[in-house]
């Protein structure tokens, strides 16, 4: 089994605090589901993630989406790190402090060099806050 997938599956239902990625730890994500090709996590919106309007900052929304796109590559592909080539984000609605957002990232196409991924941030009312499509490239740097 992919050890990175196993790492996430062992943390389903718990806030991840021991990720090798400090940004993942800072996001305080709780894995809900993880299989090859798909990951679902819950992420609370905190005050330190907001803009002057007290809503989720667009840069933080992009960070969440980018982090999950990278994570779904790590649990789906060979033993290499993947780097973001592009990230197109559509910002659709605000999210507020105290809301817990559900983020889903799925592999659309797993190529030899490029992986295409799409991801969404969804509010508790089921409405989409932001969504992305992203291409990530195999860096040829081993994960272990």
Residues 100-125 have pLDDT tens digits of 999 999 999 999 899 999 999 999 99
Count the Cβ atoms, other than its own, within 10 Å of residue 123.
Answer: 19
CB 143 within 8 A of CB 74: yes
Among 8, 34, 30, 143, residue whose Cα is nearest residue 83: 143
* pLDDT confidence bin for 1, thresholds 50/70/90: confident
Contacts made by residues 20-26, CB under 8 angstroms, sequence distance 24+? 21/67, 23/63, 23/67, 24/67, 24/71
Q: What is the pTM of this model?
A: 0.95
Under DSSP, the state recorded for 81 is E
Strand, helix or coil at 55? strand
**CATH code given to domain 3-142:** 3.10.129.10
Residues 10-25 have pLDDT tens digits of 999 999 999 999 999 9
């Amino acid at each position: 089994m992919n050890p990175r997938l196993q790492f996430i599956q062992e943390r389903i239902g718990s806030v991840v605090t021991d990720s090798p990625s400090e940004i993942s730890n800072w996001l305080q994500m709780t894995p809900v589901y993880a299989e090859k090709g798909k990951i679902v996590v819950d992420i609370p919106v905190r005050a330190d993630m907001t803009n002057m309007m007290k809503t989720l900052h667009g840069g933080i929304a992009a960070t969440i989406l980018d982090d999950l796109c990278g994570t779904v590559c790590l649990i789906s592909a060979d033993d290499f790190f993947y780097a973001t080539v592009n990230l197109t984000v559509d910002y659709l609605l605000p999210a507020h402090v105290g809301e817990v957002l559900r983020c889903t990232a799925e592999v659309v196409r797993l190529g030899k060099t490029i992986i295409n991924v799409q991801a969404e941030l969804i509010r508790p009312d089921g409405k989409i806050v932001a969504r992305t499509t992203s291409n990530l490239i195999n860096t040829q740097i081993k994960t272990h």
